[in-house]
A and B are shown apart, each in its own frame.
Chain A
């Protein structure tokens, strides 16, 4: 890698008839992802897909001009990276040839974009934020141990994954289910013209259970449960996963019978998991560095550094160096980000006051340097992204007390109930200027908690609306136990693994409306296997 990189760096742009035509790159980096995957998928109680794969991809980053103004400026950010698949063996000639082809393509792309950037700079109005396009950082050197190829006992896991999917046969109204196991072992190789040399492994095993049903009025209802660990041996025992899967089935059967909600404006509790998702979507994305700069962005928090953005008892940090929270493995961990910067803990909000953003090597007005959060999916340009978002509180009460406070709030506000959000799914975070500053998370399991002491009532069709700044300021207190949400986050720089950790939260006010309904009817015939009057879930395979 370094041979070709050095050769490229010294040769490129040095030929040209006049001095004007010489345009050597000022920065060049190779980021190679050597990844092996195993995928096992079951649906309706049987195996539908089982594959393994080994693939090597190179992202070449070429920058022309100077750190002050280069080919990635503004809307040209995409020109930074050029991607090519590489041979998976260590044949030196083949690797060098492939890297040459990729570098040549990257240089062509960068040159084209740089010339446009120069023209636009002369023609457009002065920008709000005229920070440089690339930060000054010191080179990093870390040669870790490459990850082993992902290998699992295929037969055993095909059986296990199918068995989890088969659990849903006991729930005849769950008419769609998928269980997917993914094991990914990746080694990232990074070399740059600044002298960085990094070899960093990253391993992850993930099992996702997803199931759907439909209410009689056509509303689609889904739930999901995920299990993560560093390696496949770290996943929970089969009995535990089957038990959790059963709970999903029961939950969906209950949900489809639950009454429809009414629009509501009042107090609510978000469970720890729901709060974690909420903070990731509503706050986390808005604290990404690159979102504070650029005419297209909404820049919600750009001018708020040093100001109170949350109640003073809350702090938020993002720490990719954490590997576990309690006994739970964290998805968003990494040692070096995708720009070769060392991962580090960033205190984003301290005692309610905004201190920092998630920074890549794209400087912004208030922060000139990366803080190791430049992340991307292979093939995309790194931008500031979350890792492990940790929300902590100094105003904690027990679950029982939090619930009491909810009821008190509801009574004070003259409401007959407050809401309890047990589980939510992430929607999407809209942070651009051209759309209203709304966010969307999808509540999955919501209860009415009655003031008059009636049992809690499950409702369906709840959709949270409102603007983010307002919602965050309405947190009154939190619970004393944190929960972890592990997941995959998609944004401009692609899909990456993340986590968020938060305690349960009491909000004085949350606004909800009725979710728009599907109009399809439930299936007409009963699901196969349920129409004969045998014990539901009994295995009757005719093998």
Chain B
């Protein structure tokens, strides 16, 4: 029985049903009365009001701020290995996160690591149950805030330098009610599809002859819809909803000398429509399996090389993400220091961090690029502040940071980038980070320039990275001769690809941007160009080579 045929003939509609929200009426700003039609919001507002009015421990101060956030997480996952499914799991839960602050905006009880109490909340809309979970967590959070406040006041007395910014920013309250997304999944169909993809190493005629070399072959699919209700004592009421869908494939083998070789890829999007059609996904998976044979035959990289390296837009974006995403956010610095913020760009405000021709902007309102959905897009952050587009790097200089409601010196207001992982505390994070160069070159122009650099410096060969793995380890690395011929090599790791290289080692950048969607603590997107680097180190990783299997595969 030809399973592939069955998959293709199954109606696409069965796999791709997604009921999208009707846009909420933007004509009139919604009010609290509108919000209270939602039983969850009504319960949250009732308990919030009660707490703000009545919650007080005798002889201690009342809270000056309370925030409730409930996340409804509907998640389906399925994984398969070696051509058979390991099953699918469907979970549905609601998690409430409660924040209570005592003190005032200038100096309050908040700690650096994100305070808040958690409770599971009712799945049906039972108001007493919802309120009870909130009540229990509010009580806990209030008592913890009182203790934290006292401790913080004591700590302040220990340092000479006072804090250089208020503890909490003042923001305009908003009311925004988006409709919750729903999804309908044919779970069995996805389990089958993923099982089929994981078995291609032995079913597809292009690669089945090398099936005994494959040590693992895994495919997975996940679909998640999160609806968030957020209310705070300043009057903000938000209901928002988003989806995240991912299909992944990974395959691995060992070279004759034991070196582990791995390839993986996937698609990530905000709706089922964004997931690659099955045929395309499987073709690319087969390409990856086939590349393992090439990698097994490829020679080891030379011991050490310093010189020009061309990073494809894929590899370039990975590199830029790694170097920038932690640095462009502003978080509260250590108490008693003169520092503005933390991280590699802590003291780089107005300083040059990239070549003059490069610009970096974070714009969460960018929902698509080049026909692809961007998972990092959002309208309102997880502190109830609308997202703003932020010009981070202008002509190479850092002019801004991404920030939430925790001010730092010279940045007293949030720019709507306070984002939280599920059930987690909000902290500043990128949304859609776009990196561009004014005079970007085409791929051909970049390749030519690379060769020119080789000739100019009298180098026999230079390097091209097509795709990167974790920790600066290329997955597909090519040695490029002065004649332009490319040879696949293995076993390398890159070095000296750091902030300094970004600042003064970028010879040229590409014109086309690669779309990198990632589901980390929060979904983020980076759009980045290819990078032609002046002086990067390529050397042997010298990892311990595991023994080959002790007995052959069946």
B133 in the interface (beta carbon within 8 A): yes
A125 in the interface (beta carbon within 8 A): no
Segment of B104-112, B474-482, B546-554 in the binding face:
B546-554
The answer to whether A44 and B84 touch across the interface, beta carbons within 8 angstroms, is no
A76 in the interface (beta carbon within 8 A): no
The answer to whether B120 and A528 touch across the interface, beta carbons within 8 angstroms, is no
**A41 CA to B120 CA in the complex, in Å?**
10
A145 in the interface (beta carbon within 8 A): no
Please judge, given known A-B contacts A43-B133, A85-B86, whether A524 and B122 are in contact too, CB under 8 Å: no
Q: Which residue of A lies closest to B42 (CB)?
A: A542
Please judge, given known A-B contacts A88-B87, A93-B82, A95-B84, whether A44 and B122 are in contact too, CB under 8 Å: yes
The answer to whether A104 and B550 touch across the interface, beta carbons within 8 angstroms, is yes
**A239 CA to B47 CA in the complex, in Å?**
32
**A348 CA to B130 CA in the complex, in Å?**
51
Contact among A49, A175, A524 with B93 in the assembled complex (CB-CB below 8 Å)? A49
Digitize A516-538: 1 where CB-to-B-CB distance is under 8 Å, 0 elsewhere. 00001101110111000000000
Residues 81-98 of B at the A interface (beta carbon under 8 Å): 81-87, 89-94
A97 in the interface (beta carbon within 8 A): yes
The answer to whether B554 and A93 touch across the interface, beta carbons within 8 angstroms, is yes
Please judge, given known A-B contacts A11-B552, A528-B47, whether A46 and B135 are in contact too, CB under 8 Å: no
Contact among A8, A87, A524, A542 with B551 in the assembled complex (CB-CB below 8 Å)? A8
**A98 CA to B195 CA in the complex, in Å?**
14
Contact among A44, A53, A91, A542 with B39 in the assembled complex (CB-CB below 8 Å)? A542
Residues of A within 8 A of B202 (CB): 93
Digitize A92-108: 1 where CB-to-B-CB distance is under 8 Å, 0 elsewhere. 01111110110110011
Please judge, given known A-B contacts A108-B547, A524-B57, whether A51 and B90 are in contact too, CB under 8 Å: yes
Residues of A within 8 A of B339 (CB): none
Digitize B110-140: 1 where CB-to-A-CB distance is under 8 Å, 0 elsewhere. 0000000000111111111111110110010
Residues of B within 8 A of A523 (CB): 135-136, 139
Contact among B93, B127, B128 with A48 in the assembled complex (CB-CB below 8 Å)? B93
Residues of A within 8 A of B85 (CB): 87-89
The answer to whether B139 and A525 touch across the interface, beta carbons within 8 angstroms, is yes
B130 → chain A closest CB, angstroms: 8
Please judge, given known A-B contacts A93-B83, A97-B554, A100-B553, whether A524 and B120 are in contact too, CB under 8 Å: no
Q: Is the interface of B mostly helix, strand, loop or mixed?
A: mixed
B208 → chain A closest CB, angstroms: 11
**A44 CA to B122 CA in the complex, in Å?**
8
Q: Which residue of A lies closest to B199 (CB)?
A: A94
**A54 CA to B85 CA in the complex, in Å?**
11
The answer to whether A48 and B87 touch across the interface, beta carbons within 8 angstroms, is no
The answer to whether A44 and B133 touch across the interface, beta carbons within 8 angstroms, is yes
A103 → chain B closest CB, angstroms: 8
The answer to whether A541 and B127 touch across the interface, beta carbons within 8 angstroms, is yes
B369 in the interface (beta carbon within 8 A): no
The answer to whether B129 and A45 touch across the interface, beta carbons within 8 angstroms, is yes
Q: Which residue of B lies closest to A531 (CB)?
A: B50
B436 in the interface (beta carbon within 8 A): no
Please judge, given known A-B contacts A55-B86, A94-B81, whether A540 and B94 are in contact too, CB under 8 Å: no
Residues of B within 8 A of A98 (CB): 81-82
Count of chain B residues with a beta carbon within 8 Å of a chain A beta carbon: 54
Residues of A within 8 A of B123 (CB): 46-50
Contact among A56, A86, A96, A528 with B132 in the assembled complex (CB-CB below 8 Å)? A528
The answer to whether B550 and A13 touch across the interface, beta carbons within 8 angstroms, is yes
Q: Which residue of A lies closest to B39 (CB)?
A: A542
The answer to whether B551 and A86 touch across the interface, beta carbons within 8 angstroms, is no
The answer to whether B125 and A543 touch across the interface, beta carbons within 8 angstroms, is yes
B535 in the interface (beta carbon within 8 A): no
Digitize A11-53: 1 where CB-to-B-CB distance is under 8 Å, 0 elsewhere. 1110100000000000000000000000001011111111111
B64 in the interface (beta carbon within 8 A): no
The answer to whether A175 and B136 touch across the interface, beta carbons within 8 angstroms, is yes
B395 in the interface (beta carbon within 8 A): no
Residues 500-527 of A at the B interface (beta carbon under 8 Å): 520-521, 523-525, 527
B268 in the interface (beta carbon within 8 A): no
Residues of B within 8 A of A8 (CB): 551
B54 in the interface (beta carbon within 8 A): yes
**A46 CA to B122 CA in the complex, in Å?**
5
**A36 CA to B92 CA in the complex, in Å?**
18
B455 in the interface (beta carbon within 8 A): no
The answer to whether A524 and B82 touch across the interface, beta carbons within 8 angstroms, is no
A115 → chain B closest CB, angstroms: 13
Subset of 13 A-B contacts with CB under 8 Å = A13-B550, A44-B122, A44-B129, A45-B128, A46-B122, A49-B120, A55-B86, A93-B82, A93-B83, A103-B551, A523-B136, A528-B47, A541-B126
The 7 nearest A-B residue pairs measured at CB: A87-B84, A46-B122, A94-B84, A46-B129, A528-B131, A91-B84, A11-B551
- Which residues of A approach B to under 8 Å, CB–CB? 4, 7-8, 11-13, 15, 41, 43-56, 85-89, 91, 93-98, 100-101, 103-104, 107-108, 111, 162, 169, 175-176, 520-521, 523-525, 527-529, 540-543
A48-B121, A529-B128 known; 6 new pairs, CB 8 Å cut-off, are: A51-B91, A55-B86, A87-B82, A87-B195, A528-B128, A542-B39
- Which residues of B approach A to under 8 Å, CB–CB? 39, 42, 47, 50-51, 54-57, 80-87, 89-94, 120-133, 135-136, 139, 142-143, 195, 199, 202, 215-216, 547, 549-554
